[in-house]
Amino acid sequence: MTAPLRSDATMVPVALGDRSYDIVIGRGLLASLGARIAALRPGAKAAIVTDENVARLHLAAAEAALAHAGVPMQHIVVPPGEGSKSYRGFEQVCEAVIASRIERGDLIIALGGGVIGDLAGFVAAVVRRGLDYVQVPTTLLADVDSSVGGKTAIDSAHGKNLVGAFHQPLLVLADTALLDSLPEREFRAGYAEVAKYGLLGDAPFFAWLESNWREVFAGGPAREHAIAVSCRAKAAIVARDERETGDRALLNLGHTFGHAFEAGCGFSDRLLHGEAVALGMALAFAFSAKQGLLPATEAERARRHLAEVGLPTRPCDVSGPLPSLDRLMELIAQDKKVKRGMLTFILVRGIGAAFVENGVDAGAVRTFLGEKLTER
């Protein structure tokens, strides 16, 4: 007998024609993983890809759910951290999946945060020319951002997520109970991506977060509401622009500046991805204000909320030596949104009013960053 499917879970559809799937959000959903996979792909085997930290906390429960539903499985455990999103890490997981005799009708389960979701999703995109995969995010950041939308990738020496593919999952199972074991810093970093949805296109949601962020951190209904609103926002954008040729680029608010600092810090614990996004969003608002696109008070409002939560909003908030201005500009020039050598940024005309700006003057960016690097 398989575990019953929870009827009180929140379902957010991602409408992509024959690649459509559901994001299922709620507490205690991991027990239904096997039943959901058996219903979607009867008779399929599964390879669970996870990292050492998540394996200690959640692998046994995931395997028990699969076994209860009669889904044969194996697991592949990689070291935690961004370092696993490398050519070497990718090769090792590909070879392990092939060695486990996973066939084209079988699937991969990404059990972990954004690193695991990106890595396992990219493996699924290419092994045997494409396998189904299921995202089981274990961090807030993965719940609301990286597990949704089918962007999979590994890092290059030249920057983050530069080698990858668009490959949509079969299902996203967001068990909010898994966040209870998340260190506070990791949860706070994920919150940056929640705030992003308000800052880029939903001013009322951002105002709600300003009033309710403590309840989101505490858990319960406010947390599930924030995750559901964020997932609906991303699902709507992905449905309009699956391959990031238009609106989907808005989801990169803060990422051009943020990725440069993240790479400049060596993809290390000095600056987590969500922290880099928070810093990048504060810089994007400040740069937009400097360009006369919005009042400085609006930019300060966005920065103040991120800082109140405990996220970095100025380069001096990052511990240790900062990358040089030349290095930051070199990394920005490698950003995936660069077109024919011209910089593209997500700028804002106000809270909830982001837009894509092509052909941003590199000199203006350099001057702005030079000033920010000297702030204390």
Which of 174, 27, 25 shows the shortest CA–CA distance to 113?
174
Q: What stretch of H or E contains 225?
A: helix 221-240
Residues found in the chain = 376
Q: In the numeric block, which tokens belong to residue 327? A: 């290095």
Q: Which residue has the tokens 């992509």?
A: 16
Dihedral (C-alpha) 177, 178, 180, 181: value to the nearest 10 degrees?
A: 160
Q: In the numeric block, which tokens belong to residue 311? A: 């996220």
Q: Who contacts 91 (Cβ-Cβ below 8 Å, separation ≥6)?
A: none
Which of 358, 3, 38, 331 shows the shortest CA–CA distance to 170?
38
Which of 46, 101, 90, 49 shows the shortest CA–CA distance to 70?
46
With beta carbons less than 8 A apart as the criterion, state whether 262 and 276 touch: yes
Please say whether the dihedral angle defined by the alpha carbons of residues 330, 250, 315 and 368, taken in this order, is positive or negative. Answer: positive
Identity (one letter) of the amino acid at 186? E
Q: How far apart are CA 160 and CA 267, in angstroms?
A: 9
Known catalytic residues?
129, 151, 193, 234, 244, 248, 252, 255, 259, 273
Q: Who contacts 99 (Cβ-Cβ below 8 Å, separation ≥6)?
A: none
CA-based end-to-end distance of the chain: 61
Judging by beta carbons within 10 Å of its beta carbon (0-12, 13-18, 19+), is residue 131 exposed, middle or buried? Answer: buried
What is the β-pairing status of strands 46-51 and 107-112?
A: parallel
Burial of 271-310, coded b for 16+ CB within 10 Å and e otherwise, reads bbbbbbbbbbbbbbbbbbbeeebbeeebbbbbbebbbebe
Q: Which residue has the tokens 């997520």?
A: 161
